[in-house]
Chains A and B, each alone.
Chain A
Amino acid sequence: MELNDLIFKIIFVIAVFAVSLLVAMYSTYAERKVAAFFQDRLGPNRAGPFGMLQPLADGIKMFMKEEIIPTNADKVLFVLGPSLAMMTACMTGVVIPWGSSLIIDGKEYVMQITDVNIGILYVFGVVSVGVYGIMIGGWASNNKFSLLGALRASSQMISYELAMGMSIVALVMMTGTLSVREIVESQPGGHWNVFVQPLGFLLFLICAFAETNRTPFDLPECETELVGGYHTEYSSMKLGFYLFAEYINMFISSAIIVCLFFGGYNFPFISELGLSHNMAAILGTVIFFAKVFFFIFFFMWIRWTIPRFRYDQLMRVGWKVLIPLAVVNIVLTAIYLMWKHDLWNTTLHVSQLNP
């Protein structure tokens, strides 16, 4: 790696990090505005024009609050929990292709931090570590509500991770790659995967709601029975980390959904506009963010529309509905691909396989 590339990477990493935080900050504002809209209220409107400075005020408040670590809590784990949740939330953004590429001085800069060939598995891996953040925090609090919240969270997240993993298998069969960028590039123009994998998309969307602990799957922090769930004992920025991590996860999940099923930075008629390479790339990124913001709005829309599941219902949906549906989806996709590529008469030659 050249020095030039390295500097670009570092700048890009910081930019992605900053954008994730900014989007998460303004998601909290958007959530309150959207909630207000659904409930015929005004929402935050005091800090700055239209309450635009509200997230900033909230951030400052979080910083200035007293830090409370209960005497009965395990001090180290109590701090480690939210830190881990926040870190894993930030780490997932690494493999997302934010745009195609920019050509500056004849050199191509890819608008993605890194394109590892197991991109999707990397995302699943990091998301799984996120469960530890909640589990450690809930256990360390030494509070009954926190423990129950943490138990629910970990049980729910691992259950839905199975269905999530299986909903992607069918998609991987069609594209033949695990790299997020290659999956995006296999959907040029308007040929989005959602049209060929509608069931897979539906399963993935439901699991994304469960993984981010959003309504109707927000039992871990279900305030009507568990006070604050796993973050009952938390205050100041450690509470902020948990809330922030949730919003960053929502942003990243939306970005992953857009990449896998809605063509990422691709949009119809891109080649017919006659734009230069760089202009098309920038427009692609704008379109990408527009799609992501739509899904963030969709997350909020569902939150203020649908009531929460009961725990046995949640587990029943996860195990007895989503997993069999995902298996059906895999088998149907397999049959469709066999038919489409006419593979019924093929015999295997070892030489055809990747080394």
Chain B
Amino acid sequence: MVILSVPADYFPIAIMFVVAIGFVLTTIFATHLLGPKRKSDVKLDTFECGIEPQGNSRIPFSIKYLLVAILFVLFDVEVIFMYPWAVNFLKLGLFGFLEMIVFICLFMLGFFYIIKKGALKWE
């Protein structure tokens, strides 16, 4: 059975988008108009447990976060490759099975490599 998606299928998503954006904008404007406006320098200051803010807030942070982000992109692309295969799994038979075993072996090889390298150590 072949089901091809037509652009009309995506049209209701556009309607939902308009409804969501309309709701968000109306609410933001309504709260802007309704709320009291008694501003002061201290009130608009950055919160830091009651003391005066120290230095810049955009501080350098651990490189681990960047590593996680890069590894995510890497592995996510590999996971995306699995989807077309998974949808056609029963049709591909033995050929698809063996191909994917090879693919998953390579995937796990890379995975164990990054773990051995300590890329995911959080000490």
Interface residues of A (CB under 8 A from B): 1, 9-10, 13-14, 16-17, 62-73, 79, 83, 86-87, 90-91, 93-94, 113-118, 121-122, 139, 141-148, 151, 154-155, 158-159, 161-162, 165-166, 169-170, 172-173, 176-179, 227, 232-233, 236-238, 241, 311-312, 315-316, 319-320, 323-324, 327, 330-331, 334, 337-338, 341, 343-348, 352-355
Contacts and interface: CB of A to CB of B under 8 A. Distances in A.
Given A144-B48, A334-B89, 9 more contacts: A9-B11, A63-B35, A70-B44, A70-B45, A90-B19, A158-B69, A176-B87, A179-B3, A316-B120
B52 interface: no
Nearest to B18: A13
A79 B89 CA distance: 45
Contacts of B10: 114, 116
A109 to B, nearest CB: 13
A159 B37 contact: no
Contacts of A158: 68-69, 72, 76
Which range holds the interface residue count of chain B? Answer: 35 or more
A116 B4 CA distance: 9
Contacts of A334: 89, 97, 100-101
A62 B31 CA distance: 8
Contact of A79 (B28, B59, B93): B28
Given A151-B61, A323-B111, A169 B16 contact: no
Interface in B68-120: 68-69, 72, 75-76, 79-80, 82-83, 86-97, 100-101, 104, 107-108, 111, 115, 120
A315 B120 contact: yes
B7 to A, nearest CB: 10
Contact of B47 (A62, A113, A143): A143
A33 to B, nearest CB: 26
Chain A binding surface, main DSSP class: helix
Given A117-B5, A143-B47, A334-B100, A354 B28 contact: no
B97 A343 contact: yes
B76 A165 contact: yes
Give the dominant DSSP class at B's interface: helix
Given A145-B47, A330-B82, A10 B96 contact: no
A263 B111 CA distance: 34
A283 B72 CA distance: 42
A169 B86 contact: yes
Contacts of A227: 47, 49
A87 B97 contact: no
A139 B61 CA distance: 13
A76 to B, nearest CB: 12
Interface string B6-31: 00111111011101110111011011
